[in-house]
Structure formats: structure tokens, C-alpha cells
């Protein structure tokens, strides 16, 4: 997957989430209202902003059938309008599963060459070609402009930053490859400020001009062929993804072979844009409220579009009998394992311009009668779409599922974990699971222990590096949420040496009650 980790600052319940790494299996735990869904909401906001963000409204806070965050005030941390919301992406700018979708050249080589020039000047060993790190960070920040264009308050982009988290640059304390910022401007005089304070109304804006800088790209200051930063500005594509603009008109918009400071930064931003867009468009979101079972699924085109927006594309494929024999066999294997039925089959009555009509039956293997999905229990009907979604997940996609354990008994919850693990390891999607299920967690721990200790006879080879466990919580009396990683040891047990006190009784309420 093209994005390896994300980080949120001043977003809803979090002042700073820290880096959240996305591994094949990533679990988010926490009590209700602890902030578990915040990370998911941020990703959904960014995805819908690709299509609905505009120059004047870069972040699409409200979209029909999408996530509804209302506006900047309800989204920024503690509703502090002067705070800046920042989204950070840690990307691998070389590795990619779907290489045909990445069209930009590899700018990492040019960056390594520039870094090596500085290392050689400092009489240090250069970075070898075959040992070049490929991870870089992009940050994009947004703020509230109280005056705005034509004195209409609105959200504006205020900062872009590319950081290089390579150890060799940390040693030199030079990590920022490029940054550009707009300046906060308080519009009121001292007399006006007092009036505004009395009326609890303030006036501020952000400069139209961008101020670029870099900790080690200095070629533009001495090379006449390069473009000086004073002639550089920022514009945005798809709402929130930045690119460089040459205000003088001297530099080609896209030049993959450029070795200038401007060209290097522009190529890096191009690589980020393509990878982040690919990542966000790959998201397959499955919310906590699954479709209620129906005896007959009758979807007109409007409802089909609504189902697509709810992440039910795979379920629509199954209803349309648009699955091959291998996929059908795998779905039935997990139906048998999780729901306790031999197989599931769709009977399509119509699929065309007017919509879709179909039924789902479960083969229980013990009679000539196959009951309708609606007749085999609510838990089965809620688990079945998750099975279909997981089996049909696309390679390289990010599959987000909230509370996959709903309405399932403990054994079925554990078997769902096996399904997620097998799909992640074989088809290469990444699963981001927001859950309260101790049984799902224990199964993940068990599979890791079996793999790390080479227990014979088990087939699911889940390594410690294949999973990340995060616990979200709020300290008593605090309005801010926190997130801590719970590292997994070789034994499968969680390393709780640095776990917060709030974790102590998270799974132990039943023991306390007894």
C-alpha cells in the first residue's frame, strides 16, 4: 500500500495522534467516545474531498451518503477556531503494488544525490544506491480564515511540508526538505480588539502570499538556472493535494528530469499526490450499521448508488452473481466456518438499467430446503456482508470495518479474525478494524505466537510486524483523547509495561462485576 502511516493534529478529539502505522491487520480499541472513530472519519473526509473539495472549500465536510462533520468549527480540536488542522502522510515513494497506476518518475534518486553532495562536503560517507531509504512524510495544514475572500469566512490551506525521516538527516538536524507557509494576520487595532473581546468576536486572516523555505535545498540561492523561492507559490488539486507554481512562468509545470530545487520539490509533491490519491480511493469502508436482511433485495439505481457510497460494492457484486468460481468457493468456506452453513448462493432475478433484484439463500447441508438469509438469524445476516467484503477486497486496498463482531458469538468473532488474517496475507489488502472484541484480539495474538514460535501444523503465518494494536482513551476529566500502541511480543502477549491505567480494566469489567 502506498501510504504506510497517518497522523492527525488538532482533529476532533485529538491534539496529536502520533503516527498510526497501517499494517495488514490494524486494530483500534477503546471505550465508547474515546476517539476510535476519529481516525476513520478523517480518512473518509479526505477521500470525499478528492471529488467534492474545491478551491474555495478544500475540505468537503458534508457529502450526501458520506461522512458528515458539519464544518471546520465542529471538526477542529476543542472547537478552537484559531487552531490549525494538520494531516500527515508517511509514504513509500518507490514501492507500489499497482505500478501501472503510478506515472511519476522516482524522485528519491535525485533527493539522495542532493543529500550525498552535502554529506561529502561534510566529509561523511554518502548513502549507497542500494541502501537508500524510500520513506518521506507530507503534511498539509488548514485553518479558519475569519475574513476570507470577499470577507466571507472559510477554510484555507496554510502550510505544506515535506520531511525526510532518515536517520542520517536526523543526525544533522536537517529533516525538512521543503515547507511553505502562509502568515497569520490579526486584522484588528488595539481599540477594535477590546471591542471584539467584549463581543467575543475576533477578526483575522491569512496572507495571500506563501513563504517557502528549506533546511538544505539552497541551490536556488546561487544558481541562475534555478527558480528563487520568492517566485514560488502553492496551488491545490482535488481540494487538498498541493503542487508548486512558478509565478514567473519560466519553469515548465512538470519536468520529471529536472535537477533544480523547484523541479525536485515539484516531483516529490507529484509522487505524493498520486500515491495519496491512490490510497484514499482504495478505501473500502464498512460501517457499524449493516443493511438489514431482506427476503428480496430490490435496489433501484438510486439505492444502488447509495449502497456504493456505503461501501457495499462487494455485496452488490455477490447479489448480481458477479463472482467467479474461486471467489464463490472462498465465500462459502467462510460461510461454513463463521455462520455454520455449507454455502450461500444468490438468485438474481433482474440486473439492468432499472436496478437489481435478487435473493440470498443459505445451504445448511441437512435438508432439501435452503432458508432465506433473513430466516437464519440476525447475526448471520450481519456477518455475511463482512465475509463477502473481505473475500472480494482488492489487492492494495484499505478495508475499514467498524465493529465487525456485532451480533456474533465469541467463537464466530475469533473465526472472523482468521478470515481477516488470511485475506490480508494472501490478497494483500490492509484491514483497519475498529472493535471492542477481546476474542478477535486474542485470535490475532494466538496466530502471532504460533508463527513467531514456529508451532507446527498452523497455516496462518501472521508475524508481529504484520499487526498493530492501538488503544484510545481519555484521561479522567480531560477533553482530549490519547492513543497508545500496545506492542505484541514474540509470545503473543501484549507488552503492557507502558500501557495507560485506562487499559487496566478495559476487558476486565466482567471480573470486577463478579
pLDDT given for residue 104 in this prediction? 53
Give me the sign of the Cα torsion angle 95, 101, 106, 107.
negative
pLDDT for residue 98 is more than 70 = no
pLDDT given for residue 230 in this prediction? 78
Secondary structure letter of residue 291 according to DSSP: P
Give me the sign of the Cα torsion angle 136, 89, 72, 82.
negative
Instruction: Give the pTM.
Output: 0.91
**In the chain, where are the structural domains located?**
3-21+38-281, 289-379+387-393
249-253, 276-280, 373-377, 458-462: least confidently modelled range = 249-253
205-219, 224-238, 393-407: least confidently modelled range = 224-238
Partners of 363 in the beta sheet? 343
Measured CA distances, 6 to 21, 23, 89, 140, 157 (Å): 7, 12, 5, 12, 19
H or E segment to which residue 357 belongs: strand 355-363
More confident residue, 379 or 193: 379
**How many angstroms separate the CA atoms of 362 and 300, rounded?**
24
pLDDT for residue 28 is more than 60 = yes
**How many angstroms separate the CA atoms of 460 and 16, rounded?**
35
**How many angstroms separate the CA atoms of 413 and 382, rounded?**
12
Burial of 16 (0-12, 13-18, 19+ CB in 10 A): middle
pLDDT given for residue 512 in this prediction? 46
Q: What angle do CA 78, 193, 182 make, to 5 degrees?
A: 60
142 in the Ramachandran plot: left (φ > 0), alpha (ψ -120 to 50) or beta? beta
**How many angstroms separate the CA atoms of 514 and 506, rounded?**
15
356-370, 411-425, 498-512: least confidently modelled range = 498-512
- Residue 308 has phi, psi (to 5 degrees) of -60, -45
pLDDT given for residue 291 in this prediction? 82
Contact of 40 with 55, CB cutoff 8 Å:
no
pLDDT for residue 508 is more than 80 = no
377 — pLDDT class (breaks 50, 70, 90): confident
pLDDT given for residue 261 in this prediction? 86
Listed in sequence order, the residues at least 6 apart from 94 whose beta carbon sits closer than 8 Å to its beta carbon are: 106, 108, 134
371 in the Ramachandran plot: left (φ > 0), alpha (ψ -120 to 50) or beta? beta
**How many angstroms separate the CA atoms of 11 and 103, rounded?**
32
pLDDT given for residue 513 in this prediction? 43
**How many angstroms separate the CA atoms of 14 and 473, rounded?**
10
Listed in sequence order, the residues at least 6 apart from 149 whose beta carbon sits closer than 8 Å to its beta carbon are: 56
Work out the average pLDDT over 123-131.
82
pLDDT given for residue 509 in this prediction? 54
Residues 182-191 have pLDDT tens digits of 999 987 655 5
75-79, 305-309, 426-430: least confidently modelled range = 305-309
pLDDT for residue 101 is more than 90 = no
135-149, 165-179, 240-254: least confidently modelled range = 240-254
Identify the CA nearest to 391 among candidates 369, 363, 422: 422
Average pLDDT over the chain reads 87
Strand 25-30 relative to strand 467-474: parallel, antiparallel, unpaired? parallel
Give me the sign of the Cα torsion angle 207, 15, 400, 373.
negative
pLDDT given for residue 514 in this prediction? 36
For residue 157, give the C-alpha cell. Answer: 490551506
pLDDT for residue 22 is more than 90 = yes
Give me the percent of the chain exceeding a pLDDT of 90.
Answer: 57
Give me the percent of the chain exceeding a pLDDT of 70.
Answer: 90
Partners of 86 in the beta sheet? 9, 141
pLDDT for residue 340 is more than 50 = yes
pLDDT given for residue 100 in this prediction? 47
pLDDT for residue 70 is more than 70 = yes
pLDDT given for residue 465 in this prediction? 96
Work out the average pLDDT over 319-340.
92
Q: Which of 38-42, 184-188, 303-307 has the highest mean pLDDT?
A: 38-42
511 — pLDDT class (breaks 50, 70, 90): very low
**How many angstroms separate the CA atoms of 122 and 269, rounded?**
28
Partners of 346 in the beta sheet? 360
251 — pLDDT class (breaks 50, 70, 90): low
Contact of 393 with 315, CB cutoff 8 Å:
no
Strand 85-92 relative to strand 481-485: parallel, antiparallel, unpaired? unpaired
Which stretches within 64-201 are classed as H helix?
72-75, 108-121, 167-172, 190-199
**How many angstroms separate the CA atoms of 233 and 230, rounded?**
8
pLDDT given for residue 97 in this prediction? 47
pLDDT for residue 308 is more than 70 = yes
SS3 430: strand
pLDDT given for residue 315 in this prediction? 92
Amino acid at each position: 500500500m502506498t501510504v504506510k502511516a497517518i497522523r492527525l493534529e488538532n482533529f476532533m478529539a485529538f491534539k496529536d495522534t502520533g503516527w498510526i502505522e497501517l499494517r495488514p491487520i490494524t486494530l483500534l480499541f477503546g471505550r465508547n467516545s474515546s476517539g476510535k472513530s476519529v481516525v476513520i472519519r478523517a480518512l473518509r473526509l479526505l477521500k470525499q474531498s478528492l471529488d467534492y473539495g474545491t478551491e474555495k472549500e478544500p475540505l468537503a465536510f458534508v457529502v450526501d451518503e458520506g461522512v458528515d462533520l458539519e464544518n471546520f468549527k465542529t471538526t477542529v480540536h476543542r472547537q478552537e477556531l484559531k487552531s490549525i488542522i494538520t494531516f500527515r502522510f508517511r509514504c513509500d515513494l518507490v514501492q507500489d503494488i499497482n505500478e501501472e497506476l503510478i506515472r511519476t518518475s522516482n524522485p528519491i534518486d535525485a533527493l539522495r544525490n542532493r543529500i550525498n553532495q552535502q554529506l561529502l562536503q561534510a566529509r561523511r560517507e554518502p548513502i549507497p544506491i542500494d541502501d537508500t531509504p524510500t520513506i518521506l512524510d507530507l503534511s498539509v495544514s488548514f485553518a479558519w480564515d475569519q475574513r476570507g475572500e470577499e470577507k466571507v469566512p472559510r477554510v484555507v490551506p496554510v502550510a505544506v511540508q515535506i520531511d525526510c525521516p532518515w536517520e542520517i538527516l536526523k543526525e544533522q538536524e536537517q529533516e525538512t526538505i521543503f515547507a511553505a507557509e502562509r502568515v497569520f494576520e490579526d486584522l484588528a487595532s488595539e481599540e477594535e480588539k477590546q471591542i471584539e473581546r467584549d463581543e467575543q468576536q475576533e477578526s483575522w486572516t491569512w496572507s495571500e502570499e506563501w513563504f517557502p523555505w528549506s533546511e538544505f535545498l539552497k541551490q536556488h540561492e546561487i544558481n541562475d538556472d534555478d527558480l528563487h523561492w520568492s517566485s514560488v507559490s502553492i496551488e491545490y488539486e482535488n481540494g487538498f493535494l498541493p503542487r508548486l507554481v512558478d509565478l514567473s512562468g519560466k519553469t515548465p509545470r512538470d519536468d520529471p528530469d529536472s535537477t533544480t530545487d523547484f523541479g525536485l520539490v515539484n516531483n516529490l509533491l507529484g509522487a505524493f499526490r498520486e500515491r495519496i490519491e491512490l490510497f484514499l480511493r482504495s478505501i473500502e469502508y464498512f460501517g457499524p450499521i449493516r443493511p438489514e436482511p431482506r427476503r428480496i433485495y430490490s435496489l433501484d439505481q438510486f439505492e444502488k448508488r447509495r449502497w456504493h457510497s456505503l461501501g457495499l460494492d462487494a455485496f452488490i457484486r455477490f447479489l448480481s452473481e458477479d463472482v467467479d468460481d474461486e471467489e464463490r468457493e472462498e465465500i462459502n468456506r467462510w460461510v461454513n466456518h463463521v455462520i455454520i452453513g455449507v454455502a450461500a448462493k444468490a438468485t438474481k432475478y433482474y440486473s439492468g438499467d432499472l436496478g437489481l433484484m435478487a435473493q440470498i439463500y443459505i445451504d445448511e447441508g441437512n435438508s432439501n430446503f435452503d432458508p432465506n438469509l433473513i430466516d437464519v438469524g440476525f447475526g448471520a445476516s450481519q456477518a455475511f456482508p463482512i465475509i463477502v467484503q473481505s473475500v472480494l477486497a482488492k489487492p492494495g486496498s484499505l478495508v475499514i470495518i467498524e465493529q465487525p463482531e456485532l451480533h456474533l458469538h465469541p467463537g464466530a468473532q475469533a473465526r472472523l479474525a482468521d478470515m481477516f488474517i488470511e485475506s490480508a496475507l494472501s490478497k494483500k489488502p490492509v484491514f483497519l478494524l475498529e472493535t471492542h472484541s477481546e476474542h478477535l484480539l486474542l485470535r490475532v495474538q494466538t496466530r502471532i505466537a504460533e508463527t513467531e514460535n514456529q508451532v507446527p501444523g498452523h497455516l496462518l503465518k501472521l508475524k508481529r510486524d504484520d499487526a498493530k494494536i492501538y488503544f484510545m482513551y481519555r484521561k479522567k476529566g480531560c477533553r482530549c483523547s490519547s492513543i497508545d500502541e500496545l506492542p505484541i511480543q514474540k509470545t503473543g502477549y501484549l507488552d503492557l509495561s507502558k500501557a495507560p491505567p485506562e487499559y487496566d480494566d478495559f476487558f476486565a469489567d466482567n471480573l470486577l462485576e463478579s
